[in-house]
Amino acid sequence: MAMADMSSTLSSAWYIFESNRAIFWYGVKTTLYLALLGTLLGLCIGLIFGGIRAIEIEVNDNAFVKGLKRVLHAIVSLYVWFFRGTPMMVQAMFFYYGLRPILGWTASIAGVVIISVNTGAYMCEIIRSGIQSVDKGQIEGARSLGMTNIQTMIYIVLPQAIRNSFPSIGNEFIVNIKDSSMLNVIGVVELFFQTTSVAGTMGLFTETFLVTCVIYLLLTSLATLILTYIEKKMNMPKTSYPSSQSVPTKAGK
């Protein structure tokens, strides 16, 4: 009996997918759009705020510079504290309905902004950790060559920080694929929103959400494979010799 029920559930799930393929595909495209754009914009926010948070207050700084650094640290800390300490669903409801009379924004635009600033709070801590993992000797060497603090950060520190933090950055993208479902509360038409519409129309909730479970698993698994491939490429040792040229050896060997 249980096997018959399982077979019936799978058959119904396949029928639902076949009948509503276009609806699911629209939801998948919106989900990937939100996850990718939110991760990229969040990374940009994280680079700026993480860089600010990694700036140390030095003994040689004058009073104005010390005060400015403390204010910037406080602002970034408040931002990270708020967006990491509250659920994205609550943030979506609060900012969308709170700012809609002022900004007049649509649910889609609000969704991108909310997922970006939420991701930015996590990216800030990821980038800060990545910056702190860079050997300070390289920073001192860059300064000895006459590079300014900004040049050192842009050309020396941040590229290595991003490389060191890439697994965590990639993980945020995978998290955003799933967490974008929270934006359905403000009417963003992503995969979860489409699923509830199909389930309500057909009256088959278990079968419909089984389809969505499989879709989410495929999306996150594919993203994991792609990110793992990119990570391996980034970690491959680089050589100054062309690929067709053998590495020179000592004479007589």
pTM value is: 0.85
Nearest residue to 84 (alpha-carbon basis) of 32, 46, 35: 46
**Six token digits for residue 65:** 């510079």
DSSP annotation of 184:
G
Per-residue confidence of the chain (253 residues) as pLDDT tens digits? 456 667 788 888 899 999 999 999 999 999 999 999 999 999 999 999 988 888 777 777 788 888 988 999 999 999 999 999 999 999 999 999 999 999 999 999 999 999 999 999 999 999 988 888 888 888 788 878 887 777 887 888 888 888 888 999 999 999 999 999 999 999 999 999 999 999 998 888 899 999 999 999 999 999 999 999 998 887 755 544 443 333 344 444 4
User: What torsion, rounded to 10 degrees, do the Cα atoms 169, 171, 177, 182 define?
Assistant: -90
